[in-house]
Structure 1
Amino acid sequence: METSYKGNNKMLTGIVFGVLTYWLFSQTLLNVIPAVQADMGISLGALNTAISLTGLFSGMFIVAAGGISDRIGHKKVAMVGLVLNIIGSLCLILAQGTVLLIIGRVIQGFSAACIMPATIALVKAYYDGPDRQRALSYWSFGSWGGGGITSFAGGLIATSLGWRYIFVFSIIITLVSMFLIKDVPDSKTKQSQSSKFDVSGFIVFILVMVALNVVITRGADFGWTSPISLTLMAVTVIGGWVFLKIVTGKPNGFIDISVFKNKYFAGSTISNFLLNGVAGALIVANTYVQVARGYSSFQSGLLSLGYLICVLAMIRVGEKLLQKHGPRKPMILACILVITGISLMTLTFLPNLMYTIVVIIGFTIYGIGLGLYATPSTDTAIDNVPASKAGEAAGIYKMSSTLGGSFGLAISVAVYSAVETMGNLQVAASAGLIVNAVFALIALWSIMSTIPKGAVLKSMQNEPVTLKQRKAQ
C-alpha cells in the first residue's frame, strides 16, 4: 500500500503502549500468584495452567494473525487485538472462579497474537534505516522492558488496590494506545500469490502445542508414566513430525519454513525462543521469596527493580552495539550476562539479607543482558525478510517469544513444584532457576552456531550484506 506517511513519536508511543498491554495481562499474574490463589481458592497447578494459556494461544495464533495482517492491514489487526484485550481484561476483573479466568486468559492470548506481529510490521512499514532501529529499540522497551515494568507496577497495584485492578489499568493503557494510533494509515503488502490458508497445518500445530503444554503443566498431576501423559507425549512427537511434513510439502504452509534458510533470522528466532524461556526465573524467584521468606508481592517486585531499569537503559546501548559490531557480539554478551544473573539467584542457601542483595544484583545483571539482546535480535530477524512477509515473519519471531515464555514458565514451575513436594523450598527454587540458566546456555550455543561473524548491513532487497562485501562493491 503506497503512502507518504512517515512514522512519528505519537505513533511510536501508541505502539509501545499497545505492546505493554501484553505484559500487563501476562507478566503481572506471575507476581501475584499467592494473592490470586487466596482470593479464588484454586490450586497452583490450575492457576499455572490458566496463566500459561495466554502465551500458548498467542503462540498458536500469532503466525496466522501476522499473515492476515499482511493481507487486510497491520493497523486493523492491531486494533482488533486491543479491543480483545479490553474484553479479556473485563473477564478477569469479573472472574470468581476458574471458568471466567480461563476464558479471559484465552481471549488475551488472541489479543497478543494480533498486537505483537502487527505492531512490528507497522514499524517496518513506516520507518527506514537507523530510524527503524531506533523505533525497534522503543518497541523493545515495551516488549522486553515490559516484563520489568509490569513486574514492579503489578506488585504495587496488587498490594495497594488488589490484583484485579491490574486489569483496570490494562484497559486504560489499551484505550490510550488506540487513541494514539487511530490516525496512522493502514499498511498491507501485495502478496505474490493468492493461496488458501493452510488449515490442516494449523490444526495439527494447535494439537501439538496443546498436548505439549498440558503434559508439561499437568504431567506431575497425571503421573509421568500414566496413560494420559504417555498419550500426550506421543501426540506431541508424532504430531510434530506430521506438521513438518505438511508445511514443507505446501507452498502456503502455515509456517513458511523457507525463512529459516536465512541464518540471521534463524539464529535470532531460536535464541529469542530460549531467552524468553528464562522468564520462568521471574515466577520462581517471586514465588519463592513470597512463600518461603514472607515477602509481599510489592516487596518481591522491588527485587526486580534493577532488572527493569537496566533493560530499559541497555536497549539503546544494544542498538548502538548492533550498528557498530553487528548482531553476533551483543547477542553473545547478552546470553553470558543472563546466565550469570540467574546463577546468582540460585544461591538460596544464603540468609535473608544476603540473599536479597544477591537477587537484586542477579536481576540487575539479567536485565543488562536482556536489554543488550533486544534490538539486535529483533532488527536482525525483521530486516532480513522480504516486505511481503513482514507480518508473517514478525509472527514467527514473536511466536518464538510467546511459546518460549509459555513453556519456560511451565517447565520452571513444574520443576519447582516437583521438588517442592519433597519439603525443601530452597532446593526447589534453585532447581527451577537452574532450568532457566540452561535455556540461556542453549541460546548462547544457537547464536554462536548460526549467526555469522561480522557486522551486517541490509540491502533494499532484504538480503544480508557483510561489510567486506559492501566495501568491495
Structure 2
Amino acid sequence: MTDPDDLLVLRSRRGRLTLATVILGSGIAGLDGSVVNIAARTIGTDLDASLADLQWVLNGYLLALASLILVGGSLGDRLGRRKVYLIGVAAFGVTSALCAFAQSPSQLIAGRVLQGVAAALLTPGSLAIIESGFRREDRPAAIGTWAGLSGVAFAVGPLVGGFLLEHGGWRWIFAINVPLCLLVLVLGRQVPESRDDEEAGRFDVLGAVVGAAALASLTAALTFWRDWSAPVVVAAAVVVAGLVAAFVVLERRPGAMAPVELFASRVFSAANLMTFLVYGALGVMIFLLVLQLQVTSGYSPLEAGLATLPTTVVMLLFSSRAAVVAARTGPRLPMTVGPLVGAAGAVPLAFIGPHASYVVHVLPGMVVFAVGLTMLVSPLTAAVLDAAPDRHAGVASGINNAVARAGSLLAVAAIPALVGLSGEDYRRPSVLTDGFRSGLLVCAALLAAGGIVSWYGLRSTTQPSG
C-alpha cells in the first residue's frame, strides 16, 4: 500500500506526468485493439488471408489479453504495479516489431498473441496506479481523464490506421508502437511504486491456466462451429462448460487470482455484466463498420477511419466532465442512459449501403453513438473501482478489463458467423451488406441490454457513496 502522505496530487508536476504515462501506455494497447480493424481488408489481400484468419488477427490479441489480464493485475498487486506495467510496455514494443515483419497470416497471428500477452501486463496496471497512487479527492478526475483518453485511443484506431495505410502500408500500424513504448519507458521513472502488502502465498498458476484454456476453447468454438459436425460441437460445448466450472471452483480458494468476494458486491457484478455487453457490441460494430464502408460503400481506408472521428472528438471533449457529473449523481443514470443512447445510434448505422453519403447515412448515427459511449465509460470505470477494496485495485481493474476484452473477443468470434458471414464474404458487397445490417442490429440489442442491466443492477448507487 502507498503511504497516505506520499499520495500524488493531480495538479502537481509528478501527478500530471504519472497520469500522462499511464494514459499513453494503456492508450497504445487500446489503439492496437482497434487500429487493426481498418487494416483488415488490406492485410487479407496482402497476406492472402481468409475471414477466419482476419478474425484471429483480431482475436489472437484479444484472446491473450482477456485470458491473462487477471494475471497481470495480480502480479502488479504482488510484485509492484509500476514494475509490471513497465515490463509490459517494453514487451509490447518488442512484439509490435514482430508483427510489423510478419510474412504470413500465421506469423501475424502469432505476433498478435504475444502482443496480447504484453498488453495483459500493462493494461490493469495503468488504472491500478491511479487508484493506489492519487489522493482520494483527485481520483474521480484522474479516472475520468484516463477513461476518456483511453476510450479515444480505441475510437481513433480506425482513423490512425487509415492514415498509416494510405501513407505507409499496414506494417506501420505496428511499427509506430515502438517509439511510443520507448517514450513511456522514459516517462515511467516518474511513476510511484505501489503493491498489496497483504497479498501472500503462492500465485494462482492453476487458475490462470484453466481460465485461459476456458476462454480459448470458447473462442475457437464460436469461430469455427459452422465448420464442425454436430458431435464435435456438442463435445466442444462440454469441454468449455467443464473448464468454466473448474475455473469458478478454483477461484473460491484462498489466494485466488480473481477473489470471489469481489463478486459479492452487486454493483461490481452488474457493472461487469454491463461491460461485457457494451464492449461486445463496440468490438463488432467497429469490425463490421470499417469493412462495410470500404467494401460496399467505396470508402478508402482513410475515409473509413475518418468516419469514426465523431466518437473520438466527443469522448475527448466530454469524458472528464462525465466522470465529475457521475461522481455527484452516482453511476446508475449515466450507465443506464448511455447504452440506450448508443443503441439508438447503432440502428441507423445498420442501413449503410452502396454509395452511402457520410453526412446523411453515417454522421448522425456516429454522433448519437458517441454521446452514449461518452456518458457510460467514465462512470463505469469509477463504479468498478469503488466497489472493490483499494488493496485489490489491480485485480478489480484486471477483471473489468478482462470482461471488456472477453466481450469484444467473443462477440467478434460469434456474431459474424451468426449473421451468415464466413470465408471471403468480406470481399463480396452484397453478402457483406446483409450480414452487416443484421450484425449492427444485434449490437444495438446488446447495448440496450447493457442499459437494462445497469438500471436494475445499480439500484443502490443513485447517489454517490461517502
Q: For this structure pair, what is the TM-score category when the shorter chain's length is used for normalisation? A: over 0.9
Describe how 1:210-221 pairs up with structure 2 within 5 A: 210-220=216-226
Q: Which residue of structure 2 aligns with residue 6 of structure 1?
A: 8
Q: Would you say the 8 A contact 1:90–1:167 is kept in 2? A: yes
Partner of 1:244: 248
Asked if the contact 1:347–1:355 (Cα under 8 Å) also holds between the matched residues in 2, the reply is no
Match of 1:418, SS? coil
Letter matched to residue 447 of structure 1: S
Percent same amino acid among aligned pairs? 22
The residue correspondences of 1:157-236 to structure 2 (distance < 5 A) are 157-191=164-198, 194-220=200-226, 222-223=227-228, 225-236=229-240
1:29-61 CA-to-partner distances (Å, cap 9, x unmatched) read 111111101111111111211211111111111
What residue is the counterpart of 2:368 in the other structure?
Answer: 365
Q: 1:416 to 1:92 in 2, by over 3 A?
A: farther
1:297 aligns with 2:301: yes
Q: Which residue of 2 aligns with 1:418?
A: 421
Q: Which residue of 2 aligns with 1:89?
A: 96
1:390 maps to 393
Shift of 1:445: 2.0
CA positional deviation for 1:388? 1.7
- Change over 3 Å in CA distance of 1:46–1:364 after alignment to 2: same
RMSD, aligned CA: 2.0
State the SS of the aligned residue for 2:191.
Answer: coil
Pairs aligned (count): 454
- 2:260: which partner in 1? 257
Matched, 1:318 2:322: yes
Shift of 1:5: 4.8
CA distance in 1, matches of 2:313, 2:132: 30
TM-score, with structure 1 as normaliser: 0.91
Question: 1:6 and 1:317, CA in 2 relative to 1: closer, same or farther beyond 3 A?
Answer: closer
Per the TM alignment, residue 88 of structure 1 is displaced from its structure 2 partner at its CA by 1.2
Whole-Å Cα distance in 2 between the matches of residues 388 and 129 of structure 1? 14
Asked if 1:143 corresponds to 2:145, the answer is no
Helix, strand or coil for the counterpart of 2:421?
helix
CA shift at 1:317, angstroms? 2.9
CA contact (8 A) 1:324 1:455 kept: no
Structure 1 gaps of 5+ residues are 459-464, 466-473
Q: What displacement does 1:401 show?
A: 1.3
The one-letter amino acid paired with 2:251 is V
Following superposition, the deviation at residue 143 of structure 1 comes to 2.5
Residue aligning to 2:12: none
Aligned equivalents of 2:259, 2:7: Cα separation in 1? 30
Letter in 2 for 1:238: G
**Structure 1 residue 354 displacement after superposition:** 4.5
Asked if the contact 1:317/1:372 (under 8 Å) is kept, the reply is no
Determine helix, strand or coil for the equivalent of 1:32: helix
State the secondary structure of the residue aligned to 1:27: helix
Secondary structure at the counterpart of residue 144 of structure 1: helix
Pair 1:24 & 2:24 matched: no
Distance in 2 of aligned mates of 1:130 and 1:310: 25
Query: C-alpha distance in 2, partners of 1:253/1:408?
Result: 27
| Structure 2 Cα separation of the partners of residues 312 and 412 of structure 1 | 29
Give the equivalent residue in structure 2 for 1:67: 74
Comparing 199-208 with 152-161, greater Cα deviation is found at: 199-208
Secondary structure of the structure 1 residue equivalent to 2:156: helix
Give the 3 Å change call, closer, same or farther, for CA 106–37 of structure 1 in structure 2. same
C-alpha distance after superposition, 1:130-165 (max 9, x if no partner): 411111112113332211122211111111111111
User: What residue is the counterpart of 1:401 in the other structure?
Assistant: 404
SS at match of 1:254: coil
Alpha-carbon distance in structure 2 between the residues aligned to 1:79 and 1:63? 17
Is contact 2:73-2:398 (8 Å) kept? yes
Paired AA for residue 315 in structure 2 = V
- Does 2:332 align with 1:328? yes
Contact 1:304–1:363 (8 Å) recurs in 2:
yes
Q: Distance in 1 between matches of 2:214 and 2:78?
A: 27
Deviation of residue 342 (structure 1)? 0.7
Query: Which one is further off, 84-93 or 177-186?
Result: 177-186
Of stretches 354-363 and 25-34 in structure 1, the one that deviates more from structure 2 is: 354-363
**CA distance in 2: counterparts of 1:281 and 1:151, whole angstroms:** 12
The answer to whether the 8 Å contact 2:144/2:324 transfers is no
TM-score (norm 2): 0.92
Alignment partners' CA distance in 1, 2:315 and 2:160? 15
Residue identity in the other structure for 1:21: I
Structure 2 residue 131 is matched with structure 1 residue 127: no
2:107 counterpart residue number? 100
Residues 87 and 451 of structure 1: CA distance in aligned 2, closer, same or farther (over 3 Å): same
Contact 1:117 1:392 in 2 (8 A): yes
Q: CA deviation at 1:20?
A: 1.3
1:352 equivalent in structure 2: 355
CA displacement 1:356-415 (0-9 Å, x = unmatched): 622222122111111111111101111221122111111111111111121122223333
For 2:250 and 2:216, the matched residues in 1 are separated by 18
8 A contact 1:284–1:412 mirrored in 2: no
Secondary structure of 1:195 counterpart: coil
- Deviation at residue 283 of structure 1 after TM alignment: 1.1
CA 1:17 to 1:154, structure 2 compared with 1: closer, same or farther past 3 Å?
Answer: same
Code of the aligned partner of 2:297: R
Counterparts of 1:72 and 1:241 in 2: how far apart (Å)?
A: 29
